[in-house]
Amino acid sequence: WPGTVEVTYSQDKSKDIRIMLHELQNSVITAVLLVIVIMLTVLGGRASLFIGIAIPASFLAGILGLHLAGLTVNIVVLFSLILAVGMLVDDAIIVSEFAERRMSEGMEPRAAYSLAAKRMAGPVIAATATRVAAFSPLLFWPGIVGEFMKYMPITLIATLSASLVVALIFTPTLGSMLGRASAPHAEHKRDRTLYMRTVRLTLRHPLATLALALALLVGVIQAYGTYGNGVEFFPDIEPDFGLVQVRARGNLSIYEKDKLVRTVEERLLGMEEIETVYARSGEGQQGSDEVTEDTVGTIQFEFVDWQERRKAGVIIDEIREMTKDIPGVIIEVTKPAGGPPTGKPITLEIASADPEFLFPAARKAAEIIRANPDARDVDDGLPLPGIDWKLEVDRTEAAKFGASPVTVGTAVQLVTNGMQVTDYRPSTTDESVDILVRFPEERRNLDQLDELLVNTPSGAVPISNFVDRVPVEKVGRINRVEGSRVVTLTANVAEGAQSAAVQQAVIAELGKADLGAGVTFKMAGENEESADAQAFLMQAFGAAIFLIFAILLAQFNKFSSVLLVLSAVVLSTIGVLIGLMVMNQAFGVVMTGIGIIANAGVIVNNNIVLIDTYDRLRREGWAAYDAIIETCRERARPVVLTAVTAMLGVLAIAFGINIDFVERTVMIGAPSTQWWIHLSTAIVFGLGFATILTLIVTPAALMAIANLAAWRDRRRGARIARREEKRARTAGEPPASWPGATPGAQPAE
């Protein structure tokens, strides 16, 4: 560059992307290490090796799936890999744990892993299918949010499918080759542990246990409604830049506008926590909902690194305070919202077929929004004050002179924009140039308009003989939605305030106000996107439940088992809501919603493992009580392991911790983790509580179902016994003996 030219860079997104990718890569490493540590601790080195192979193999399959779909690695893909770390080892854990148990009983490794692959194939395939079914509906997410989040289901489906192949083929193969038989030993006294004592207690009181779980669900929902932090669309991410809009009214020249913008710019340049400032004086972005009509300039500023400054919200409040004394301007300071662009938090559309009622209704709505203490930077969306002159032609009077509106319009063009007489195309271009005719500038004014002469068959006649000049309110632009004129009001919300709560408060006040006949209103922007996302996630959750229902019905062939598994998914929301209250977080429509759907796959997996083992023992002739006790003894460890690994995968992100293994530093609250904190919180707390409920409530439910079946059998047996006894008395024969009934027994009421 020439020596007199200074070049600086601002808003370098490549730097931010590199930092975010690096932080998420560290999170992937952290998740893998945590999962490996817990497997080494519980299962030992050899089994952990067999299971650990599932991680890189599944990762490669996921990346290959993205490549085949024409997609690239991004922050959503990296977090999907973090989320997958804890789930893709679940299948291998189930197979390896079963084989390890059989080897501890004296079975050879080859036979143990072969039996594990055969015995666990059904539950593992069903469990993986349910996890894939949970994420599959997300592939059809429409709109901007869908474009943003579609990478997650694609990545997870590819990695989870690969984990199934690893668990049923590679893990048994390696185990049979490298596994080591354990010395036979007596069964540990696990029935004396606190968990087994708790299970025995719940089996004695199964209905009370189920009632307590239901009461806990209702109580937690009510508690969150009272003490929770409400609902939000996307999490609030610490931004790296902000925007100042300088607004002023009046017929200002470009130099006057620039002077106002410079006044604000100079105050920002004195702040140490702002790295670069880019100012633009003029009309702003025309047609943008973010820039109002009275904007005379915009200033974009970039913060220094987030570790070297205060929170962006504090800095923005300080900017508002230090610029509020500038006379003649309105200063609006905003920061970018997290997630896809949706406009300002409050975007209200006032519509009316009759323009006479539209502007007064918009003014009244603006006052209602300004009255809310959490609303900031309210813009009423109305045109700037000004006057347009409307020429009303008296057709009757004009006809007396032989004039028409066409001749009047032609004459008026001479004192306004000019009348086109021809066009000309220069030899150097393909585009034509219009040739216009109009009066000199000194004769293009309102006085000249009143004195304008119109040529008629009767001669030149003053236009004032049949034209009235009427002042009307100036309208800069006209917006229509579904045929009705619309005025869009916008506002920001105060730092820390929930936009959903402010929106609901504004809607409630508007419902009480009299806006005029035929005037309607609706919240658009973020509220509309949030409602659409919420509606889709509900549909996706319903579709996932239906797919899981079909898979479970094919696996168990019993409605009672299917309903039992699905009830565990509903109960998992207890942990999600408790986690949000403990972490002081709002319910994120997108992130928390996806977290609940992700939990469904793991919870169903754990219940499949329990119920499949219970059904097998019942088929072998075990009594219901003994089968449940044995199931809890055998399957408690894999259930806990699968849940813990899924939780550990996102545990660090849930608490905002990022470990840099290269620089050997630990960061808390990095922007890359803020994206996923809500989703991770839902998984950690949801799975934590769901696992406890699975190990306690599911056995109680199985006992209740067995008791109900036994009661029905006794009732049916008693009825049969009564009929047989009556028939025997009539025939004079001794009554037959029926299982489950005693002679003369009465059916239960």
Q: Assess whether pLDDT exceeds 80 at residue 660.
A: no
User: What confidence tens digit (pLDDT) does each residue in 248-275 have?
Assistant: 877 778 888 888 899 989 888 888 888 8
Contacts of 87 (CB under 8 A, 6+ apart): 131, 156, 160, 163, 601, 602, 645, 646, 649
CB 648 within 8 A of CB 86: yes
pLDDT of residue 671: 76
User: What confidence tens digit (pLDDT) does each residue in 11-31 have?
Assistant: 677 776 777 777 767 777 777
- Kindly report the CA angle at 276 between 274 and 280, in degrees rounded to 5? 115
Better pLDDT: 662 or 253: 253
Residues of the chain with CATH 3.30.2090.10: 387-473
User: What confidence tens digit (pLDDT) does each residue in 269-284 have?
Assistant: 888 888 888 888 886 5
pLDDT confidence tier of residue 185, bands split at 50, 70 and 90: very low
- CA-to-CA distance for 66 and 158, rounded, in angstroms? 8
Which range, of 121-135, 606-620, 711-725, averages the lowest pLDDT?
A: 711-725
Extended strands (E) in 463-600: 467-473, 479-481, 484-493, 520-523, 587-588
pLDDT confidence tier of residue 340, bands split at 50, 70 and 90: low
Residue with tokens 């632009």: 477
User: What confidence tens digit (pLDDT) does each residue in 548-580 have?
Assistant: 888 888 877 888 888 888 888 888 888 889 988
pLDDT of residue 189: 46
CB 331 within 8 A of CB 320: yes
Residue with tokens 């007596």: 186
User: What confidence tens digit (pLDDT) does each residue in 487-510 have?
Assistant: 888 888 887 777 778 888 888 888
Q: Are strands 241-247 and 330-334 parallel, antiparallel or unpaired?
A: antiparallel
Query: Whole-number mean pLDDT of the chain?
Result: 80
CB 238 within 8 A of CB 314: no
- Helices of type H across 421-525: 446-450, 499-512
pLDDT confidence tier of residue 187, bands split at 50, 70 and 90: very low
- CA-to-CA distance for 26 and 661, rounded, in angstroms? 7
Residues in a beta bridge with 467: 393
- CA-to-CA distance for 725 and 747, rounded, in angstroms? 13
Q: Assess whether pLDDT exceeds 60 at residue 241.
A: yes
CB 494 within 8 A of CB 376: yes
CB 96 within 8 A of CB 51: yes
Q: Which of 347, 339, 145 is nearest to 234 (CA)?
A: 339
- CA-to-CA distance for 295 and 308, rounded, in angstroms? 32
Residues in a beta bridge with 434: 423
Q: Assess whether pLDDT exceeds 80 at residue 191.
A: no
Q: Assess whether pLDDT exceeds 50 at residue 99.
A: yes
Specify the CATH architecture of the domain 13-234+530-708.
Up-down Bundle (1.20)
pLDDT of residue 737: 54
Q: What is the DSSP letter of 233?
A: S
Q: What is the mean pLDDT of residues 181-195?
A: 55
CB 182 within 8 A of CB 676: no
pLDDT confidence tier of residue 215, bands split at 50, 70 and 90: very high
- CA-to-CA distance for 629 and 436, rounded, in angstroms? 96
- CA-to-CA distance for 330 and 471, rounded, in angstroms? 28
pLDDT of residue 287: 43
- CA-to-CA distance for 653 and 576, rounded, in angstroms? 16
Q: Assess whether pLDDT exceeds 50 at residue 124.
A: yes
Helix (H, G, I), strand (E, B) or coil at 615: helix
Better pLDDT: 724 or 461: 461
Q: What is the CATH number of domain 387-473?
A: 3.30.2090.10
CB 572 within 8 A of CB 690: yes
Contacts of 563 (CB under 8 A, 6+ apart): none
Q: Which of 157, 20, 181, 19 is nearest to 100 (CA)?
A: 181
Residue with tokens 């003996």: 737
User: What confidence tens digit (pLDDT) does each residue in 373-385 have?
Assistant: 888 888 877 776 6
pLDDT of residue 182: 53
pLDDT over 70 percentage in the chain: 90
pLDDT confidence tier of residue 56, bands split at 50, 70 and 90: confident
Q: How far is CA 605 from the centre of its chain?
A: 24
- CA-to-CA distance for 91 and 83, rounded, in angstroms? 15
Q: In this structure, which CATH number among 3.40.640.10, 3.30.70.1430, 3.40.1160.10, 3.40.50.970 belongs to the domain 237-336? A: 3.30.70.1430
Phi-psi region of 378 (alpha: psi -120 to 50; beta: other; left: phi over 0): beta
CA gyration radius, the chain: 36
Better pLDDT: 627 or 513: 627
Backbone angles phi, psi at 743, to 5 degrees: -55, 135
Residue 130, CB half-sphere, CA atoms under 13 Å: how many?
Answer: 33
Residues of the chain with CATH 3.30.70.1430: 237-336
